[in-house]
Amino acid sequence: MTHPTIYHIPVCPFCQRLDILLTLKSRRDEVDFQLIDITHPRPDWLLHKTRGTTALPILETADGHIIKESLVILQYLEDIYPERPVAQRDPWRHAVENMLTRMDGEFFSQGYTWLMNQDPALREALREGMLKQYAQLNDFLLEHAPSGPFLFEDFGWAETVFTPFFERFWFLEYYENFVLPDEPRYARVRAWVEACIGHPAAQQTTREEVVKLYYDYSKGAGNGALLPGRSKSSMAFEPDWRDRPWPPKNKYEHSATDAELGL
């Protein structure tokens, strides 16, 4: 039997979820990962597989079926590799992690909206919105897992879903000077974030890679789109991000050239 194949984008948080889950299950080598360069139009063979949609990741099963949506793919992987379960099996515990997981959409949106914001007048409201998101997570964790650091005994389903966002939000620290205030109301979520980011199964990316690749997002250009005056996206595969300089942090005052970004 051939393996499932995952078509993914480097540094995409939804793709990293799958990588984390497979790592937790020690099944990383049983799935073929194929990188897609989003700075070029999707190839026809890929659009044929997806019937025209462009969102990634997708998973192609061993017998050629296509599954879309990271949470649906996570569940599929959990189902076909039931050993070392990552999701909780007890109904109430499963409900708790599902409630937390459903908070992912707003959390993600708030962080990416702030990163992509170009109006300095909105920064303070965006910071407040982000803090509100962290406060909601803090409250949830205090209610259901006061001692922590994880929601249950180990890094599990909710951590698999959220950790890629915690790692992406390094871009807010760099481009927006956002750090979670050292206040009691964020103490529980801070402990969760730190335990998640430090877990061995969640080391697929680094602060440096995130900051360099997301430069164009910080200037409002998502999904590999080209900014005015530029010939290359910061999401490009080449040159390797390790060989590029750190981007300028002053996104509201300056637009970096290809050369300044080492592209």
- State the residues that interact with a copy of itself by CB under 8 A: 51, 61, 65, 67-69, 71-73, 75-76, 79-80, 91-92, 94-95, 98-99, 102, 139, 143
Residue 58: CB partners within 8 Å, gap ≥ 6? 6, 7, 49, 50, 66, 67, 68, 73
Handedness of CA 155, 158, 161, 162 (dihedral sign): negative
Kindly state the smallest distance separating residue 56's Cβ from a copy of itself, in Å.
Answer: 15
Please tell me the distance from the alpha carbon of residue 78 to that of residue 57, in angstroms, as a whole number: 16
Q: Please, which residue, 74 or 202, has the CB nearer to a copy of itself?
A: 74
Closest CA to 257 of 237, 232, 221, 239: 232
Q: Please, which residue, 79 or 124, has the CB nearer to a copy of itself?
A: 79
Q: Please, which residue, 73 or 202, has the CB nearer to a copy of itself?
A: 73
Please tell me the distance from the alpha carbon of residue 232 to that of residue 263, in angstroms, as a whole number: 7
Q: Please, which residue, 35 or 80, has the CB nearer to a copy of itself?
A: 80
Q: Please, which residue, 70 or 234, has the CB nearer to a copy of itself?
A: 70
DSSP 135: H
Q: Within 10 A of 123 (CB to CB), how many other CB atoms are there?
A: 15
Kindly state the smallest distance separating residue 166's Cβ from a copy of itself, in Å.
Answer: 22
Residue 179: HSE in the Cβ half-sphere, 13 Å Cα cutoff: 6
Q: Please, which residue, 143 or 238, has the CB nearer to a copy of itself?
A: 143
Token readout for 119 is: 């109006």
Kindly state the smallest distance separating residue 15's Cβ from a copy of itself, in Å.
Answer: 17
CB 36 within 8 A of CB 42: yes
Kindly state the smallest distance separating residue 65's Cβ from a copy of itself, in Å.
Answer: 6
Kindly state the smallest distance separating residue 204's Cβ from a copy of itself, in Å.
Answer: 23
Please tell me the distance from the alpha carbon of residue 200 to that of residue 3, in angstroms, as a whole number: 24
Kindly state the smallest distance separating residue 61's Cβ from a copy of itself, in Å.
Answer: 6
